[in-house]
A and B are shown apart, each in its own frame.
Chain A
Amino acid sequence: MASKLTRSNGAGWAFALPGFGLIALFIVLPFFFAFGLSLTNQRLISPNPTEYVGFANYRDLLGLAVITLEPERDEAGQLVREADGGIAYPRVRTVTRSDDYPQYRGMREWFRWQSGDNARVVIASDVVFMKALVNTLTFVVVVAPVQAGLALVLALLINQKLRGVNVFRAIYFMPVVVSIVVVSLLWRFIYDGNDGLLNNMLVGLTFGLFEPVDWLGNPDTALGAIMAMSVWQGVGFHMVIWLAGLQTISPTLYEAADIEGASKWQAFRYVTWPGLRNTAILILIVITMQAFALFAQVDVMTNGGPLDSTQVLVFQAVERGYGRQDISGGSTISVILFLIVLAISLLQRWLTRER
């Protein structure tokens, strides 16, 4: 293992020490604390002693089961129909709150599907956590490529020798330097359901045809609204990184491509894109991690609502730890989030490795 890094490199290590020290103190150590706390029943406020509970917190978060509901039949054995023609099923609470099924106690319906006449219902110990998990993954899957792609387009646009291009650079970068809380508050006004800027604009553009939408108050649009505003807010930062990458590509390569008669697309495909390889990896990993850490927008704009459509993992961790005074539950979510991000980062490293 003795390499050049560890031998006769005292000065280097000395310079790195403050950084390593701070990271160890404020990131590595708290993580081990969090893992330790997730195995206990630690509360935020409590005179009761903390007890070791093993993996109970993980079971409470991740518990899943599938139950089958048989349709209700009348005396003649015919299916009972709801008013809308659907098959009537007994309520899930007849199972989850029944003493006949103690193993399902406290679980709740997450989603269901039809199989024959029966309904298969997935019940979860913690539906809110499950929704937060799905929302977070959806957010990452949408935001990472869209934000990276948009940032690249902007970077290509402003990577030109034009008069006043710095003005555009400044404008695109502006949202990044404004506090995310301020940006979220402003976007709350923009998304307002009654007389928000967005609704007014859409109504104006369609000559009154557009029906105003309560963007943050509607479960179908709330997460999308937060995604759009997050992309807008973060795109400037990644644009600057792309720009830095673009400017490391030697102009002689473009000249050569020009002489060879390459089209604009070919120049991008065979000169620009390979030159941006390392930048792309960096941006992809950074955006993914940032997207997993989504918190402020949700906290300011929706508080996880409506109907849990904007619950995300970090918000849930904070809400549980401080709001519900359940430090162990919050820690458990943090540990799970850490493992997910770690797994995805390793996967990305592997997929983008030098071959």
Chain B
Amino acid sequence: MKTRTILTAALLGGVAFAPAAMAQTELSMWYHGAGSNNQEEATVNRLVAEFNASQDDWEVVMESFPQESYNDSIVAAALAGNLPDIIDVDGPVMPNWAWAGYMQPLGIDEARLEGFLPGTIGRWGGEVYSVGLWDAAVAVFARRSVLEDHGIRIPTLDEPWTKDEFDAALVTLDESGEFEHAFDPGMAWTGEWYPYAFSPLLQSFGGDIVDRSTYLTAEGALNGEAAIEFGEWWQSLFERDLAPGTSQDPADRETGFIDGQYALQWNGNWAALPVIEAFGDDALFLPAPDFGNGSTIGAASWQFGVSAASEHPEGARAFIEFALTDEWFAAFSDGTGLIPVTKSAAQMTQNYAEGGPLEVFYELSERQALVRPVSPGYVVAAKVFEKALADIANGADVADTLDAAVDEIDADIEANGGYGH
């Protein structure tokens, strides 16, 4: 206490001479993207610097973490009681941290969020906990010339491929013998990619990871008829050798579509720019097929929020609000290729403006995006789902595997007292 008094005195004394910067209260911030391979980290750094220069009350000090260890660091810090003021959090993980008491509601005026893509607002228990400065979308990467050569219809947002059409297209492409595999779903990207990219396919069949009416069980959603139908189709992709399996080389995943190994690829907009560079106007980004229950893709990327430990939530909020402008959304989008949060910001970007090469992704996000189950239990359910899909791809019995996944998810929900639903 004594040192603080001395410090305060020193500070007060200092104010007389030094510029007002001395009076800034420090806000710590943790960020997940250390060493990101695009401009994301640099743009976050610029955001912090400009925020610090823009006002006299707060000074944000940022620490970057590599993505693989970021979540572990947050959990460890929370257990040890040293969370920073501002954290960034992956959209589907947010409910888990909010439920666990790592985060506090943002307390932001919701009018500020008008016109934002739905995936960029993180809600739990009726309150906004986190806001994203960008979103991501997934599409079927294709080449116009390849589809036209094989007489395959080019689908549109209003009229996506049906299940039979998509399947027939894969068979046609496979039989052409021009490609190692007709379709690359991205089995090499283990982890969050599985639920992010593949659970929308399950939803399009009519299933889901959990039953979203209660969030208390997966029974019927993940092992019902629709889910089993999805599982059978999923398994058949690998049985018929239409898609590379779980042992896909990660390097092939990165370059296989551009190198012509795969005819179609299920991939995110962050990977779109190199494809445009390689194929120019020939590159196509097609909406997800409609397997009977509408086309869906995943939504929500990394978002910013305030930790429960923060003593200065108003400062943290000021920082996040500072970033919620079209200029920053456009800056992030230009730096990373990710989707800007608002339509007006999209017009200010190189890629998402009208006629821009990635314009289609904005509309995909707006029209097809469905957030992953908003539940603290998602973190565990996602792992279970990932294993089930890998096992099914490797030939496990579909119904038994999905049953086992349901049992595991249900047991976890029960062990956690229903996760507060």
Q: Mark A residues whose CB is within 8 Å of B.
A: 41, 43-48, 60, 91-93, 96-97, 106, 108-109, 127, 192-194, 214, 216-217, 219, 303, 305-308, 319, 322-326
B99, B403, B411: which contacts A47 (Cβ < 8 A)?
B99
A127, A194, A219: which contacts B394 (Cβ < 8 A)?
A219
Closest CB-CB distance, B376 to chain A, in whole Å? 8
Interchain CB contact under 8 A, A217 and B416:
no
Residues of B within 8 A of A45 (CB): 75, 78, 96-97, 100, 102
Q: Mark B residues whose CB is within 8 Å of A.
A: 72, 75, 78, 96-97, 99-102, 190, 245-247, 249, 252, 379-380, 383-384, 390-391, 394-396, 399-400, 403-404, 407, 411-412, 415-417, 420
Closest CB-CB distance, B416 to chain A, in whole Å? 6
Interchain CB contact under 8 A, A43 and B416:
yes
Closest CB-CB distance, B191 to chain A, in whole Å? 10
Residue pairs across A and B with Cβ atoms less than 8 A apart, 22 shown, are A43-B415, A47-B101, A48-B416, A106-B407, A108-B400, A108-B407, A127-B404, A192-B247, A194-B249, A214-B245, A214-B247, A216-B247, A217-B245, A217-B394, A303-B190, A308-B391, A319-B383, A324-B380, A324-B384, A324-B412, A325-B380, A326-B380
Identify the closest chain B residue to A96 (Cβ): B403
- Contact of A48 with B390 at beta-carbon distance under 8 Å, contacts A322-B72, A323-B383 already known: no
CA distance A323 to B190 in the complex (A): 13
A-B pairs with lowest CB-CB distance, top 10:
A217-B247, A306-B394, A45-B100, A106-B407, A307-B394, A324-B380, A323-B383, A47-B101, A48-B417, A214-B247
Interchain CB contact under 8 A, B247 and A193:
yes
Interchain CB contact under 8 A, A325 and B379:
yes
Residues of B within 8 A of A194 (CB): 249, 252
Closest CB-CB distance, A158 to chain B, in whole Å? 36
CA distance A277 to B101 in the complex (A): 58
Residues of A within 8 A of B416 (CB): 43, 46, 48
Interchain CB contact under 8 A, A217 and B249:
no
Residues of B within 8 A of A127 (CB): 404
Candidate in A48, A216, A308 with the most chain B CB atoms within 10 angstroms: A48
Identify the closest chain A residue to B383 (Cβ): A323
B78, B384, B391, B417: which contacts A307 (Cβ < 8 A)?
B391
B101, B380, B403: which contacts A108 (Cβ < 8 A)?
B403
Identify the closest chain A residue to B390 (Cβ): A305
Residues of B within 8 A of A308 (CB): 391
CA distance A216 to B380 in the complex (A): 26
CA distance A303 to B245 in the complex (A): 14
Closest CB-CB distance, B254 to chain A, in whole Å? 15
Identify the closest chain A residue to B78 (Cβ): A45
- Contact of A41 with B415 at beta-carbon distance under 8 Å, contacts A108-B404, A109-B400, A324-B383 already known: yes
Interchain CB contact under 8 A, A93 and B399:
yes
CA distance A325 to B416 in the complex (A): 10
Residues of B within 8 A of A47 (CB): 99-101, 420
CA distance A337 to B417 in the complex (A): 29
